[in-house]
Amino acid sequence: MQKRKLGKSSLQVSAIGLGCMGMSFSYGPPKDKTEMISLLRTAVDRGVTFFDTAEVYGPYTNEQLLGEALSPVRDKVIIATKFGFNLHPDGSPGWQGLSSKPEQIKRVAEASLQRLKTEVIDLFYQHRVDPEVPIEDVAGTVKELIREGKVKHFGLSEAGVQTIRRAHAVQPVAALQNEYSLWWRNPEAEVIPTLEELGIGMVPYSPLGKGFLTGKIDASATFEKNDFRSTLPRFTPEALKANHAVIDLLARTAKQKNATPAQIALAWVLAQKPWMVPIPGTTKLHRLDENLGALDVTLTPEDLREIDTASAQIKIEGARYPEKLEAMTGR
């Protein structure tokens, strides 16, 4: 397994990680626990060392799943989890708002340590920026947790460049987690240059466009009510039909490379910067193997130019999130 270092941090992980959210949350009903434990351990056997979770996934059940699956191989893996949402007291799915108050961050850290069956959180992200709490207070709180040996590295998710700079000045940010793929390239304008300047790694989530870039979703696709894609403007039948041009582009390149559209989409992300580590999610072993196969795909500078030229001609239809959720990003 190829390894990558997240920016200037000492955090070295497998070149492709595993996003674990869909095992418990957001993509329909929770999957069978025994099957997911088997998948997680197989991922470790395949060389994956980087696993992504959060307390809000479930809530709580995804961290518990990883704790049970990965505790026997804890010395071989890097686990990232997140704080920042104010969850419902009864533990029901969703959240009541944002909360990154220092006492809340500390409570989440203690609870996550218990659920993950570990003595230290390798990478602790602020899931979304809380406009009510100065980012200096957030970074300072995580700095305390690092000093106490409960956390190793500090991360941010979907933060704006000024927030990144302010946080990094208090406690070095090891990684920024952001959506990034061939059909969501907004980070290229400001975020990626800032990360490069500061030496911060990037962890692209949804590098396969929440499944769309696999080429397996078309305009006739339907989503269950507990599949959050049913609420996304980009997943309406009209948008799916209009955006199929992206799939056609990936399929053309895939044919030339004897690969799949998903592998080209991941290889494209991997080719952008050596300090990017995508975390495609899956609940199926054959998809895990397909995703890891992207590491064997080489896109030449000419390939990348052709993809960029062709994709520049494609107008992506539909917002990635409803307005209320999009307003929580880029702060």
d(CA 61, CA 45): 23
Instruction: Report whether pLDDT(30) > 90.
Output: yes
Q: What is the pLDDT of residue 52?
A: 99
pTM: 0.97
> How crowded is residue 149: how many other Cβ atoms within 10 Å of its Cβ?
9
Q: Which of 109, 39, 113 is nearest to 74 (CA)?
A: 113
Average of per-residue pLDDT across 100-127:
98
pLDDT at 101: 98
Region 317-322: mean pLDDT is 96
Active-site residue among 57, 125, 180, 205? 57
The domains located in the chain, with CATH, are 3-326 (3.20.20.100)
Total length of the chain: 331
pLDDT value at 142 more than 90: yes
pLDDT confidence of residue 88: 87
Please, which pLDDT band fits residue 73 given cuts at 50, 70 and 90? very high
User: Radius of gyration over alpha carbons of the chain, in Å?
Assistant: 19
- Is residue 93's pLDDT more than 90? no
Per-residue confidence (pLDDT) for residue 94, from 0 to 100: 86
User: Is 180 in the active site?
Assistant: no
Q: Name the band, by pLDDT with cuts 50, 70 and 90, for residue 64.
A: very high
Average pLDDT over residues 162-173: 98
**CA–CA separation, 216 and 214 (whole Å):** 5
**Per-residue b/e over 187-210, b at no fewer than 16 CB within 10 Å?**
beeebbebbeebebbbbbbbbbbb
Least confident among 89-103, 239-253, 264-278: 89-103
